[in-house]
Structure 1
């Protein structure tokens, strides 16, 4: 097989549109993947920090450290987030179930089916019923939530209920508006999804992603722009690597296109 066959002609066509030879297109493609790796690393750190900072602030302000568990009504979530919450609970139960041995899993049938396992029950049906027995912790549910869930808490739908009362403190700089955070989160979310599917990020989209990440990194937990925040310290190496790969990509882009 040729190199282009490993990449696919359809995928490489994007880069051939910017270069004058296939070899240059391949080089540009590979540099895009390297940049994507650094983007994903930085986004992963931010996503982790965002969900934990947001959770901490909501627990502090609403007084409920179990707000993501079934039955809790302390946080006024919208239908979309309620659905996402239930999905996270199911995934947390599934993750806990997957750690059991076959013998331990079948042992649960006595509790899932007190009257006996129905003769026609499939493997998947039995697994779902067994998983319902698990009581998962708030932390286990948090680990199964998506970036989409947390960014939605900063949307206009929660401006009056969460932002003013609580989440403004996650981004405490008085010059920062909720809409500024929401826009940046949308850009980072879209970038994350593209990189996760090995889609290229370049041009205007790349510039917007870099600006959004810098803004969020500089403002998460920071009251003033001039002082290094704890998150800036925490993410320093990943951000330096991202900047290095970004500069390298820009140089290659300018040379090959």
Structure 2
């Protein structure tokens, strides 16, 4: 097989449009993958830190340590976020169920079907009933929430109810607007999705992504962009690797295109 067959002609077309030889297109493709790896690493740390910082501020402001769990309605959320929480709870239960042995799973039938399991019960219904028995924790649900859920809490829909009341403390710089944070998170979210699907990030899209990551990294928990925050220290290695791969990519792009 030729190298192009490993990548696929369709995928390589994106890079062939930027170069004059297939060899250069392949090299550019591989530089893009390396950059994508560093982008995902940095975005993963940011996502992890954003959701935990946001969760902590919401707990402090609404005095509810289990606001994500069933039966809790202390935080004024929109329908989309409520549905996202329900999905996260279902995934948390599924994850807990997956850890059981076959015998342990079968043992749950005594509780899932106290009057006996109907003969026509499908496997799908059986599993759903078993999983519904699990009582999951706040931490288990948080681990199943998506980046989309957390970045939406910084959207205009929550300006009055969440941003002004508590989430401004996640980004305490008085010069920073909610819209600045929201736009940056949207850019990072879009970048994450592109890289996750092995789609290239270059040109203006790459510059926007780098600027958004820089802004959020400098602003999370910071009273000003120059403060050496805990998050900056926490993400230092990943950030340095990203900068190195970014510079390498830009140099390769200039050389190969």
Q: Could you list the structure 1 runs, at least 4 aligned residues long, displaced by more than 4 angstroms after superposition.
A: none
Measure, in 2, the Cα distance between the counterparts of 1:237 and 1:27: 26
For residues 107-165 of structure 1, what are the alpha-carbon distances to aligned partners after superposition, in whole Å with 9 as ceiling and x for unaligned?
Answer: 00010011111111122211111000000000000000000000000000000000000
Equivalent runs, 1:28-43 vs 2, <5 Å: 28-43=28-43
Contact 2:154–2:182 at 8 Å: present in 1 too? yes
Contact 2:218–2:226 at 8 Å: present in 1 too? no
Deviation at 1:167, TM superposition (A): 0.1
* 5+ residue gaps, structure 1: none
Measure, in 2, the Cα distance between the counterparts of 1:224 and 1:13: 44
Are residues 1:174 and 2:174 paired?
yes
Instruction: Show the counterpart of 1:227.
Output: 227
Measure, in 2, the Cα distance between the counterparts of 1:71 and 1:198: 39
Deviation at 1:225, TM superposition (A): 1.9
Instruction: Show the counterpart of 2:248.
Output: 248
Equivalent runs, 1:107-256 vs 2, <5 Å: 107-256=107-256
Instruction: Show the counterpart of 1:17.
Output: 17
Measure, in 2, the Cα distance between the counterparts of 1:26 and 1:226: 40
Deviation at 1:236, TM superposition (A): 0.3
Measure, in 1, the Cα distance between the counterparts of 2:94 and 2:197: 24
Deviation at 1:69, TM superposition (A): 0.3
Deviation at 1:20, TM superposition (A): 0.3
Contact 2:93–2:135 at 8 Å: present in 1 too? yes
Measure, in 2, the Cα distance between the counterparts of 1:226 and 1:7: 43
For residues 80-99 of structure 1, what are the alpha-carbon distances to aligned partners after superposition, in whole Å with 9 as ceiling and x for unaligned?
Answer: 00000000000000000000
Measure, in 1, the Cα distance between the counterparts of 2:153 and 2:185: 11
Measure, in 2, the Cα distance between the counterparts of 1:238 and 1:146: 21
Question: Under a length normalisation based on structure 2, what TM-score does the superposition of the two structures give?
Answer: 0.99
Equivalent runs, 1:45-56 vs 2, <5 Å: 45-56=45-56
Measure, in 1, the Cα distance between the counterparts of 2:94 and 2:227: 43
Deviation at 1:12, TM superposition (A): 0.1
Q: How many residues align?
A: 257
Deviation at 1:226, TM superposition (A): 1.8
Measure, in 2, the Cα distance between the counterparts of 1:13 and 1:104: 51
Deviation at 1:74, TM superposition (A): 0.3
Q: 1:175 is paired with a residue of what secondary structure?
A: coil
* 5+ residue gaps, structure 2: none
Measure, in 2, the Cα distance between the counterparts of 1:28 and 1:152: 34
Question: Under a length normalisation based on structure 1, what TM-score does the superposition of the two structures give?
Answer: 0.99
